[in-house]
């Protein structure tokens, strides 16, 4: 989970309490891969979901799938703009802060 407040809602806490085999793991809010995934979903939402009317879940799924197929016909690879060293330094810093708080 990311650090959004949804998981703090009483209904969500109750669900997790009733399902002890599930464990939550939180990712740093600034995780670059998580930001990329969220950006992808935001683009699908803005460019396909909000522009359509769907009378069933099946039609919504088909519309999203068609969008992804169309988008992937001109796919471009993600290019990292920072060094691995810089990323690892930030990870160590986050880990150090986390360890000092727990």
Q: What is the pLDDT of residues 14-72, one digit of tens each?
A: 998 999 998 877 776 666 677 778 888 999 999 999 989 999 999 999 999 999 999 99
> Both 74 and 61 in a single domain?
yes
- pLDDT for the residue 68: 94
* pLDDT score at 3: 60
pLDDT at 7: 74
Q: How far is CA 73 from CA 30, 62, 65, in A?
A: 29, 17, 13
Q: What is the pLDDT of residues 74-102, one digit of tens each?
A: 988 877 788 889 989 999 998 888 888 87
Residue of 33, 28, 38, 29 lying closest to 80 (CA atoms): 33
Integer Cα distance of 54 and 33 in angstroms: 30
- So what's the pLDDT on residue 18? 95
What's this model's pTM, rounded to 2 decimal places? 0.49
- Domain co-membership, 85 together with 65: yes
Indicate whether 90 and 65 sit together in one domain. yes
User: What's the rounded Cα separation, in Å, for the pair 91 and 78?
Assistant: 20
Distances (CA, A) of 71 to 30, 42, 46, 52, 102: 26, 14, 13, 17, 43
Q: Which two tokens stand for residue 52?
A: 């359509």
State whether 47 and 81 are in the same domain. yes
Does residue 1 register a pLDDT over 70?
no
Q: Which range of residues forms the domain containing residue 43?
A: 33-101
91 with 71: CB under 8 angstroms?
no
């Amino acid at each position: 989970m990311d650090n959004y407040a949804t998981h703090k809602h009483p209904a969500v806490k109750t669900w997790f309490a009733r399902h002890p085999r599930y464990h939550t793991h939180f990712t740093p809010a600034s995780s670059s891969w998580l930001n990329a995934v969220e950006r992808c979903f935001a683009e699908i939402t803005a460019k396909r979901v909000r522009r359509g009317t769907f009378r069933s879940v099946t039609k919504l799924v088909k519309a999203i799938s068609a969008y992804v197929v169309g988008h992937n016909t001109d796919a471009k690879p993600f290019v990292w703009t920072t060094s691995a060293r810089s990323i690892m330094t930030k990870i160590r810093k986050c880990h150090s802060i986390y360890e000092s708080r727990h």
